[in-house]
Amino acid sequence: MSTRILIATRSFGSTSEIPWKLLEENQSEIIQVDISKATDKELAEALQSVDAAIVGSRPITAELIAGAPRLKVICMHGVGVDHIDLGAAKAHQVIVCNCPGANADSVADLTLCLMLAVSRDLVNANASLKRGEWGRYSGKLIWQKTLGLIGMGQIGRGVVQRATGFQMRILVYDPFISSDTITEIGARAVSFEELLAESDYISLHAPATDKSHNLINADTLSKMKSTAYLINTSRGELVNEEALYHALKNRQIAGAALDVYTHEPPLRHDLINLPNVVATPHIGAHSTEAITNVSIMAAQNVISALRGEPINQVN
Residues serving a catalytic function are 235, 264, 282
Burial degree of 199 (CB within 10 A; 0-12, 13-18, 19+)? buried
Rg (CA), the chain: 21
Q: How far is CA 112 from the centre of its chain?
A: 14
- Taking a C-beta distance cutoff of 8 angstroms, is the pair 96, 283 a contact? no
Count of CB atoms within 10 A of residue 17's CB?
Answer: 11
The CA distance from 104 to 5, in Å, is 26
Dihedral through CA 28, CA 65, CA 80, CA 292, nearest 10?
10
Q: Cβ neighbours of residue 146 under 8 Å, at least 6 residues apart?
A: 168, 169, 170, 171, 198, 199, 200, 201
- What is the H or E stretch that residue 203 is in? strand 201-204
DSSP state at residue 179? H
The Cα 177–Cα 189 span in angstroms is 9
242 touches 250 (CB < 8 A): no
CB atoms within 10 A of CB 145: 20
